[in-house]
Chains A and B, each alone.
Chain A
Amino acid sequence: MPVTFFIPGGLREFTDGHSTVEIEHSPATLAEALTVLWTLYPGVRDRIATEQGQVREHINIFIGDENVRYTGGLASLVAAGAEISIVPAVSGGGHP
């Protein structure tokens, strides 16, 4: 079963307007799944990750309902058919 990414509005100009992206590969981890995503849509990469490959501070990634910050980060396992959501944190930004 394909893994599905849900793309937030702010990134859709880099995914040709798509709000969901399905990848046919069977990635074992989130890192592998992301690698496939930004091979397809390179502009997404720098929005989600720093140049050092860390997920940005105010970006949350959920596999299903689980925030990957608590399930192993980029090494979190991705099951077949998983739904991966990319969500800017509500606390983003340093100013009110």
Chain B
Amino acid sequence: MIKISHLSKIYQIDSLATKAIDDISFGIKKGEFVAIMGPSGSGKSTLMHILGALDTPTSGTYELDGENVGRLKDDELADIRNKKIGFIFQAYNLLPRTSALKNVMLPMAYAGITKDEREKKAKELLGLVGLADRIEYLPNQLSGGQQQRVAIARSLANNPAIILADEPTGNLATVQAEEIMNIFKKLYQKGHTIVMITHEHDIAQNAKRIITLRDGKIVSDKKH
């Protein structure tokens, strides 16, 4: 599903080159639930951006679902993000003043799906995350946990190859964080591939495999 080989990312600021990711290689198989851990500055955010096709590597290759993502142009990357990746952000990032339903429909609109189909699928997904009774609510009328559930529903909209979650529980209280993790486990059981970035050990324990980064290098890769 994901194949990373000798991947590096170097940020050039003036004459100073910073290696955010330093020649790492690993693979993720279909249906895996992986947590990527590491302290701040370890390169996990950069890795997340590259995995999410928001950024391209300086060297090395990133293959997603058989496609070499590192060599694609802007609009092709947009297509990859739209169809193969489901994003979940720490700050939820829902469109303000836009209903939960419309938020979930948005990625499908960019994929060119008809309005009726979009609406049907979005309702189904909101039901899956337990928000069937709140589809017309605006983000500011929902709690943090509920907003993150809307974001999960949105990430599933185009049946992506992987779900990419960046600190999905970072802004949430423990009870709500547990709810979100339960949904992730459910998705994992249904066969979805999940890559979750976190710095919290408790949250990472929910995953079946933990990759730990430090100074742009993988220091451990354990399954349990």
A and B: partners? Answer: no
